[in-house]
Structure 1
Amino acid sequence: MRTRSLAALAAVALALAGGLVVAVASPATAATVSKPLRTMIADLPVATEVRTGYDRDLFPHWIDADSDSCNTRYEVLIAEAVTAPSVGSGCALTGGRWYSYYDGAYWTLPADLDVDHFVPLAEAWDSGARNWTTAQRQSFANDLGDGRSLAAVTDNVNQSKSDQDPAEWMPPLSSVHCRYVGEWAAVKTRWGLSVDSTEKSALTSYAASCTNVTITVDTVLGGSTPTTAPTTTPPSGTCTATNGTDVTIPDAGSAVSSSVTISGCARAASSTSTVYVNIVHTYRGDLVVTLAAPDGSTYTLKSSSSSDSTANVNTTYTVNLSSETANGTWSLRAQDVYSEDTGYLNTWTLTV
């Protein structure tokens, strides 16, 4: 059971397989966005919402990603309890106490609380999630990587919110409105979701009377993370190939691979070959990434790290491939070695 990241939420509330060679990564394009509240809202892209085709079942949710008998709903209840509950068989919770910040109410029975998708699933669909893969929608609906994505709140208050955005609904407790719009902007930024013009106007109006606190969020989709390899001019005599077909990386599953073929380079590969990798994943520390040469030799580009909770891999690795022939089929392999989240390999580029 992974501890959820609640530091950002608290700050806003208070202010308002083994390889042969290990490659050295150059600095990645930042996947972290940090902006003043009003700037973050101003930077949200505006687009018309589209509800066509929406079905709640298109967002698989309340999964038990780590197979500990506690699904996402119960993970949130455990993480957000102000008095820690006892966790019994089948994840039965007893003795806990919870605070619903929407209305300032305290509860002692889990049944009195809903776990709110802070940006409702239908709203996410309208704002861009209709174009996502099922794996991405599942990750959104079970996002334990940011404490603002899901919130344990009074059930009937959450039901009154339904799928409404801040232009249509705000928490009944007016003292938390600044916190609410900040978290709304953070979640929309984290997942690269748009806002409609009425929604943006409402957010802007509310934020005008709030302290302009700095909000920090790790992006999963959109944000500052590019979806294609950066444009570079390769040195003379190099050969480059890209594979941009999405490949789903299963949760704690076998490695998946994506291949490119280099041809017309009748020479050895370079000692400073580069591999640009863009993987969308809630926790990049879960991932092991290796490069397989045409002769089967493997090079570890990235090892896993249980302490790295940053989202996404968006990095250019430099690796010595001088012992390899440039021509042939090369494979990038990615594996999630920890339980909880799925992701996908978006694109990768090999320059030899």
Structure 2
Amino acid sequence: MPRLHRAAWSCLGVALVLAVAGTSLVLARPAMAATVSKPLRTMIADLPVASEVRTGYNRDLFPHWIDADGDGCNTRYEVLIAESTTTPTIGSGCSLSGGRWFSYYDGATWTAPADVDIDHFVPLAEAWDSGARNWTTAQRQSYANDLGDSRSLAAVTDNVNQSKGDQDPAEWMPSVSSVHCRYLGEWAAVKTRWGLTVDSAEKSSLTSRAASCSNVTITVQTVLGGGGGGGTTPPPSGCGGTNGTNVTVPDTGAVVSSTITVSGCSRPASASSTVEVHIVHTYRGDLVVTLVAPDGSAYTLKASSSSDSAANVNATYSVNLSTETAGGGWQLRVQDVFSGDTGYLDTWTLAV
């Protein structure tokens, strides 16, 4: 991605973050909700079970395809380019020619982009049923255009994708039986990444099918949900809140802040406090996000990364705040440490 003055801004970013944190900087854990590594059967076992709810679903509630990096190629074409077995030539308007694509669902190879669909591995309707109905539009857009994990979107034969529709593994599996274990692992990984639930029939099918698979370790970086089960105990209810007032994040290195005041909570904060953050920005790697406690102690939730070119921050961070008092004014501070783009803090939710 073309960016300006990365090295200089990186140094400035470190200096400004330290200035914000003072002498009380404490690194939060984990950096992007969690990096989860589990054997296949354990990851499936840890998927939470809940009834599916289709009420209110509309595909338009998941905006796609977007051109997150502004290079003229939207998410569909980014996946086509990334998953090509022969790299295509990219022409005007991101037209592709000379490429080849292998659809692992059915073992077919294609040379025309029109013959290839980009499958939302866990279909949009299935995601809605399994928890996405409770997300913000920004979160659903991030899900529908998730280039942060290669398992989220798959280039496959168009009519095979259409036959899959919105079905889960209890209802549909690829015709090539040798890829079934891969399919189960990728399904579990995407559901874990996005904190999605499974229904009882889905859980039963995943469990029974995985019993004959190699129990390989699957690693996934979660975006929502903190790891799909088996994680820390959530903080006690009643202490926290949400701030939904938009705050512009300027392209100047300036630190902006938003405050949640917690009242009526005299107890210590939890060792498993959570901070859910939604920021709209072209490059989330540009951003540093810090939680500041009422006493001024600072907890870095997200550091900058010049290699992260994905859009938006939609993440839930787990932070040990047991040395803090729950009550008082908590600040979320956001800083853009690279030049070229502005954005805004959409909403954030604190549970301490």
**Shorter-chain TM-score range:** 0.7 to 0.9
Q: CA deviation at 1:149?
A: 0.3
Matched to 1:148, the amino acid is R
Q: Tell me if 1:187 matches 2:190.
A: yes
Matched to 2:287, the amino acid is L
> What SS does structure 1 have at the residue aligned with 2:243?
coil
Query: Which structure's CA Rg is the greater one?
Result: 1
> What SS does structure 1 have at the residue aligned with 2:117?
strand
Q: Tell me if 1:346 matches 2:348.
A: yes
Q: Tell me if 1:208 matches 2:211.
A: yes
Quick one: structure 1 residues 143 and 121, their matched pair in 2 at CA, closer, same or farther if it must change by over 3 Å? Answer: same
Q: CA deviation at 1:61?
A: 1.0
For structure 1, the residue ranges without an aligned partner over 5 or more in a row are: 3-16, 232-240, 264-275, 319-327
CA distance in 2, matches of 1:342, 1:182: 35
Q: CA deviation at 1:342?
A: 9.1
Residue number in structure 1 paired with 2:242: 244
Q: CA deviation at 1:306?
A: 1.8
Residue number in structure 2 paired with 1:334: 334
TM-score by length of structure 2 reads 0.73
Q: CA deviation at 1:60?
A: 0.4
Residue number in structure 2 paired with 1:82: 85
Tell me the alpha carbon deviations over residues 55-100 of structure 1, each in whole angstroms, 9 at most, x when there is no partner: 0000001101111110000010111111111111111111111111
CA distance in 1, matches of 2:66, 2:288: 23
Residue number in structure 2 paired with 1:37: 40
Residue number in structure 2 paired with 1:55: 58
Q: Give the alignment's Cα RMSD to 1 decimal.
A: 4.1
Residue number in structure 1 paired with 2:99: 96
Matched to 2:26, the amino acid is A
> What SS does structure 1 have at the residue aligned with 2:306?
coil
CA distance in 2, matches of 1:343, 1:187: 26
Q: CA deviation at 1:175?
A: 0.6
Tell me the alpha carbon deviations over residues 95-115 of structure 1, each in whole angstroms, 9 at most, x when there is no partner: 111111001111111111000
Q: Tell me if 1:278 matches 2:275.
A: yes
Q: CA deviation at 1:132?
A: 0.8
CA distance in 2, matches of 1:27, 1:292: 11
| Percent identical residues | 67
Residue number in structure 2 paired with 1:130: 133
CA distance in 1, matches of 2:199, 2:89: 43
> What SS does structure 2 have at the residue aligned with 1:148?
coil
Residue number in structure 2 paired with 1:259: 259
Alpha-carbon contact 1:243-1:258 (below 8 Å) kept: no
Q: CA deviation at 1:43?
A: 1.1
Residue number in structure 2 paired with 1:269: none
Residue number in structure 2 paired with 1:171: 174
For structure 2, the residue ranges without an aligned partner over 5 or more in a row are: 3-12, 264-272, 322-327
CA distance in 1, matches of 2:65, 2:342: 12
CA distance in 2, matches of 1:70, 1:306: 20
CA distance in 1, matches of 2:68, 2:250: 9
Tell me the alpha carbon deviations over residues 133-188 of structure 1, each in whole angstroms, 9 at most, x when there is no partner: 11111111000000000000000110110111111110011110000011001101
Alpha-carbon contact 2:224-2:314 (below 8 Å) kept: no
